[in-house]
Amino acid sequence: MKILALFHTQAGGGLPKAALEVLTAAAALKEQTGGTLAVGIIGQGAAEAADNVAGCGAASFLTVSAAAVAQPRYATDTAAAAALIKESGADLVMAPGTARFARCLPGAAHRAGAQIDTHIVSVKAEGEKVRAQRWFYRQRILVSFSRTDRPWIILADAGVNAPWQGAAGTANSREAAVNFSDTDLRTSVIGTRSPAADAQTIKPDVPLLFVAGAGWTKKQKDGQFHIAEAGVLIQDFLLKATASLGSSKSLVDLQSEGQETLSFMTHMNQVGQTGSTPRHAKGLSTCCHGEEPHAVGWRFINERRAVNLDPNCGWAQGKADVVYVGDAFEVMAKVNAMLS
Ligand SMILES: Cc1cc2nc3c(=O)[nH]c(=O)nc-3n(C[C@H](O)[C@H](O)[C@H](O)COP(=O)(O)OP(=O)(O)OC[C@H]3O[C@@H](n4cnc5c(N)ncnc54)[C@H](O)[C@@H]3O)c2cc1C
Say yes or no: 170 and 205 in one domain.
no
257 and 291 both lie in a single domain: yes
**Residue owning the nearest CA to atom 19 of ligand 1:** 250
**168 dihedral zone (left: phi>0; alpha: psi -120 to 50; beta):** beta
In angstroms, rounded to a whole number, what is the distance separating the alpha carbons of residues 277 and 184?
A: 35
- Asked whether residue 94 is domain-assigned, the answer is yes
Residue 308: the pLDDT is 98
CB atoms inside a 10 Å sphere around CB 208: 18
Shared domain check, 307 and 236: yes
| Ligand 1 neighbours (beta carbon < 6 A) | 213-215, 218, 220, 248-251, 270-275, 287-289, 291, 293-294, 297, 307-310, 313, 327-329
Torsion on CA atoms 135, 112, 172, 34, rounded to nearest 10? 60
243 and 120 fall within a common domain? no
In a domain, 122, yes or no: yes
Helices marked H in the chain: 17-33, 46-52, 74-88, 99-112, 227-241, 249-256, 292-295, 328-339
User: How many domains, the chain?
Assistant: 2
CA atoms of 325 and 64, how far apart (whole Å): 57
pLDDT of residue 231: 96
Asked which of 126, 141, 175 is the last residue of a domain, the reply is: 175
Tell me which residue of 84, 109, 114 sits closest to 7, measured CA to CA.
84
- In the chain (340 residues long), the average pLDDT of successive 10-residue segments reads 97 94 98 97 98 98 97 96 98 97 98 97 92 87 96 95 96 97 93 74 94 97 96 96 97 85 91 94 98 95 98 97 98 97
What are the strands, taking DSSP E only, across the chain?
2-8, 36-42, 60-64, 92-96, 115-120, 122-126, 129-136, 141-145, 152-156, 174-175, 208-212, 244-247, 280-286, 301-308, 322-325
Question: Distance, CA 232 to ligand 1 centroid (Å)?
Answer: 21
Decide if 236 is inside a domain: yes
d(CA 113, CA 239): 47
Q: Does residue 101 sit in the same domain as residue 165?
A: yes
Q: How far is the CA of 313 from the centre of ligand 1 (A)?
A: 10
pLDDT at 258: 76
What does residue 136 show for φ and ψ, rounded to 5 degrees?
-125, 170
pLDDT score recorded for residue 139? 75
- Please give the distance, rounded to the nearest whole angstrom, from the Cα atom of residue 209 to the centre of ligand 1: 16
Structural domain boundaries enclosing 333: 197-339
Residues 128 and 249 in one domain: no
For residue 120, being part of any structural domain is answered with: yes
Strands 60-64 and 141-145: unpaired
Cα 214 to chain center, whole Å? 26
The DSSP call for residue 55 is G
Report the nearest atom of ligand 1 relative to the CA of 292.
Answer: 17
Interior angle at CA 109, CA 88 and CA 60, nearest 5: 15
Regarding whether 140 and 284 lie in a shared domain, the answer is no
**In this structure, which amino acid lies at residue 257?**
E
Whether 185 maps to a domain, the answer reads no
**What CA–CA distance (Å, rounded) separates 237 from 333?**
9
Q: Compute the C-alpha angle 135/140/144, nearest 5°.
A: 40
Among candidate residues 291, 275, 287, 212, the one with its CA nearest the CA of residue 244? 212
Same domain, 110 and 243: no
Q: Based on the domain organization, do 36 and 157 belong to the same domain?
A: yes
In a domain, 9, yes or no: yes
CATH of the domain at 73: 3.40.50.620
Q: What per-residue confidence (pLDDT) applies to 260?
A: 82
Structural domain includes residue 251: yes
Please tell me the predicted confidence (pLDDT) of residue 68.
96
Same domain, 263 and 311: yes
Give distance in angstroms: CA of 241 to centre of ligand 1.
23
Q: How far is the CA of 205 from the centre of ligand 1 (A)?
A: 25
DSSP 312: T
- Verify that 120 and 208 share a domain, yes or no: no
Count other Cβ atoms within 10 Å, centred on residue 233: 22
Q: How far is the CA of 122 from the centre of ligand 1 (A)?
A: 32
For the purposes of burial, counting CB atoms within 10 Å of the CB of 55, is it exposed (0-12), middle (13-18) or buried (19 or more)? middle
Q: If you take atom 11 of ligand 1, which residue's CA is the nearest one? A: 248
CATH number reported for the structural domain that contains residue 292 in this entry: 3.40.50.1220
Same domain, 208 and 312: yes
